[in-house]
């Protein structure tokens, strides 16, 4: 018997930033006080700064899906024609939400592990000039694939439609120039790269999107973006806010600002690159090889091995929770997360553990092969070796 530390290594919820967790201990405060208004206002200002946008950023008490639904119920009207890009479980969620609200949906579908091409969006908009909105995931967390949202922003920006982007695992893992790329609605959630527990979602709303809110006729009450934005500007929230999470968010944002949002993105991208190198060194296949994102890396289990065995191995041997595949991908892939508070020490140990688990399940690999690949990526990026002079 040996000690197994509990480790949360999933792509949401993600590992918590300890000072943010400690900040939650000051939760015995009332939200209709000057003390809280100050904290709320400053946290929202920091959030806007970290997202790098001049658009309004509206906070909501919900998981990410609440903000996805709010974007539909506040900006669109019954029967509106929209385009939904779907290449995974979260794309299917957009289809579900838009259909539930009575929108007319043109679905642009790609197989799991692929991404919808910007050209397909351009063609759909050309063929359907009545389209009011395009929905997409910046990062499709069920497969690890990323969408080319910069190109999509350019394409949608030339039309009357708005681009509504689930960036719940895109924020903090890929560059997103919200204003510059024409990203009208950008949705984030607390439990992903923001390093705090689930319960807060937020979305930036462009002036073009606010225009649509003026004529929207879909029912909504709790998630009223116009009301919430007006209140937020005064340091107030429409309903009781998740005070404990706001304290945590304020602390996490201080940290993210201190390192820089671009460095948080670089961190995820470097860890993702190292993970792909490790998978290749171990002879494992990537699930989304053509458009890999940096929020997480989905890897196929070796032929004949259920990926549940790998997930179980992490839990039982090493006390760590990693993600299986979702839906039809369950048992076929496992997902290694990089978003938020992950570092190279985490990855060294994840890959070392993976090697042990593979061997324990009869997939022979030479110990250290994957770890060495991660070390090589680290060494190159950190300039560990002196340049060789001829
Ligand atoms: C986590 C996640 C969501 C939101 O899921 P919730 O459980 O509602 O927080 C939505 N989209 C993507 C891409 C996600 O990764």
**Which tens digit of pLDDT belongs to each residue from 14-34?**
999 999 999 999 999 999 999
**Which tens digit of pLDDT belongs to each residue from 71-127?**
999 999 999 999 999 999 999 999 999 999 999 999 999 999 999 999 999 999 999
Which helix (H) or strand (E) is 137 found in, with range?
Answer: strand 133-137
Q: Is residue 388 part of a domain?
A: no
Residue nearest to ligand 1 atom 5, measured at CA:
64
Give the number of domains in the chain.
2
**Which tens digit of pLDDT belongs to each residue from 148-176?**
999 999 999 999 999 999 999 999 999 99
Query: 337 CA distance to ligand 1 centroid (A)?
Result: 14
pTM greater than the 0.95 cutoff = yes
Regarding whether 100 and 218 lie in a shared domain, the answer is: yes
Any ligand 1 atom below 6 A from CB of 292: no
Regarding whether 244 and 148 lie in a shared domain, the answer is: yes
Regarding whether 295 and 249 lie in a shared domain, the answer is: no
Query: 317 CA distance to ligand 1 centroid (A)?
Result: 28
Helices and strands, counts by H and E, the chain: 13, 14
Regarding whether 274 and 230 lie in a shared domain, the answer is: no
Average pLDDT, the chain: 97
Q: Ligand 1: which of 189, 325, 337 to mutate, judged by most atoms within 8 Å of the beta carbon? A: 189
Any ligand 1 atom below 6 A from CB of 91: no
Regarding whether 131 and 43 lie in a shared domain, the answer is: yes
Any ligand 1 atom below 6 A from CB of 14: no
Q: What integer is the mean pLDDT of 360-385?
A: 96
Residue for token pair 């609605």:
185
Regarding whether 251 and 349 lie in a shared domain, the answer is: no
Regarding whether 324 and 216 lie in a shared domain, the answer is: no
CATH number where 272 lies: 3.90.1150.10
Choosing from 227, 259, 291, the residue where a domain stops is 259
Q: Is residue 179 part of a domain?
A: yes
Residue 229: pLDDT band by 50, 70, 90 thresholds? very high
Choosing from 259, 285, 300, the residue where a domain stops is 259
Residue 390: pLDDT band by 50, 70, 90 thresholds? low
Choosing from 207, 242, 259, the residue where a domain stops is 259
Q: Ligand 1: which of 144, 147, 168, 323 to mutate, judged by most atoms within 8 Å of the beta carbon? A: 168
Regarding whether 300 and 252 lie in a shared domain, the answer is: no
Helices (H), the chain: 18-23, 34-51, 64-75, 89-100, 118-127, 149-157, 207-215, 225-233, 243-259, 261-281, 307-318, 344-360, 369-382
Residue 243, domain extent: 18-259
Q: Is residue 152 part of a domain?
A: yes
Query: 327 CA distance to ligand 1 centroid (A)?
Result: 15
Query: 281 CA distance to ligand 1 centroid (A)?
Result: 31
Work out which ligand 1 atom sits closest to the CA atom of 12: 1
Query: 168 CA distance to ligand 1 centroid (A)?
Result: 6
Regarding whether 271 and 255 lie in a shared domain, the answer is: no
Q: Is residue 86 part of a domain?
A: yes
Q: Is residue 94 part of a domain?
A: yes
Q: Is residue 333 part of a domain?
A: yes
Give the DSSP letter of residue 26: G
Query: 369 CA distance to ligand 1 centroid (A)?
Result: 33
Any ligand 1 atom below 6 A from CB of 17: no
Q: At what angle do helices 207-215 and 64-75 cross, to 10 degrees?
A: 60
Query: 38 CA distance to ligand 1 centroid (A)?
Result: 29
């Amino acid at each position: 018997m040996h000690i197994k530390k509990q480790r949360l290594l999933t792509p949401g919820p993600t590992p918590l930033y300890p000072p943010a967790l400690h900040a939650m201990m000051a939760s015995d405060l009332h939200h209709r006080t000057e003390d809280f208004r100050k904290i709320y206002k400053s946290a929202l200002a920091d959030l806007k700064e970290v997202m790098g946008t001049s658009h309004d950023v509206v906070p909501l008490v919900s998981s990410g899906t609440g903000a996805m639904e709010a974007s539909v119920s506040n900006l669109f009207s019954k029967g509106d024609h929209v385009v939904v890009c779907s290449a995974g479980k979260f794309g299917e969620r957009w289809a579900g939400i838009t259909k539930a609200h009575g929108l007319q949906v043109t679905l642009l579908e790609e197989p799991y592990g692929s991404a919808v091409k910007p050209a397909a969006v351009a063609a759909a908009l050309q063929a359907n000039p009545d389209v009011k909105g395009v929905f997409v995931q910046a990062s499709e967390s069920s497969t690890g694939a990323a969408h080319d949202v910069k190109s999509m922003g350019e394409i949608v920006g030339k039309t009357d439609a708005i681009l509504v982007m689930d960036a719940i695992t895109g924020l903090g893992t890929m560059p997103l120039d919200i204003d510059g790329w024409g990203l009208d609605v950008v949705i984030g959630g607390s439990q992903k790269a923001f390093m705090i527990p689930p319960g807060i979602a937020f979305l930036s709303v462009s002036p073009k999107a606010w225009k649509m809110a003026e004529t929207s006729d879909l029912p909504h009450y709790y998630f009223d973006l116009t009301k919430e934005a007006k209140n937020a500007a005064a340091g107030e929230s429409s309903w009781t806010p998740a005070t404990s999470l706001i304290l945590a968010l304020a602390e996490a944002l201080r940290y993210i600002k201190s390192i820089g949002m671009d460095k948080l993105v670089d961190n995820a991208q470097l860890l993702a690159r190292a993970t792909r190198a490790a998978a290749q060194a171990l002879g494992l296949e990537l699930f989304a090889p053509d458009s890999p994102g940096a929020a997480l890396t989905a890897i196929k289990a070796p032929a004949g091995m259920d990926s549940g065995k790998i997930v179980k191995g992490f839990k039982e041997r090493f006390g760590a929770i990693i993600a299986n595949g979702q839906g039809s991908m369950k048992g076929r892939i496992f997902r290694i997360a990089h978003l938020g508070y992950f570092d190279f020490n985490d990855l060294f140990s994840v890959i070392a553990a993976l090697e042990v688990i593979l061997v324990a399940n009869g997939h022979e690999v030479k110990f250290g092969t994957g770890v060495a690949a991660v070390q090589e990526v680290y060494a190159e990026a950190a300039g560990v070796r002196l340049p060789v002079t001829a």
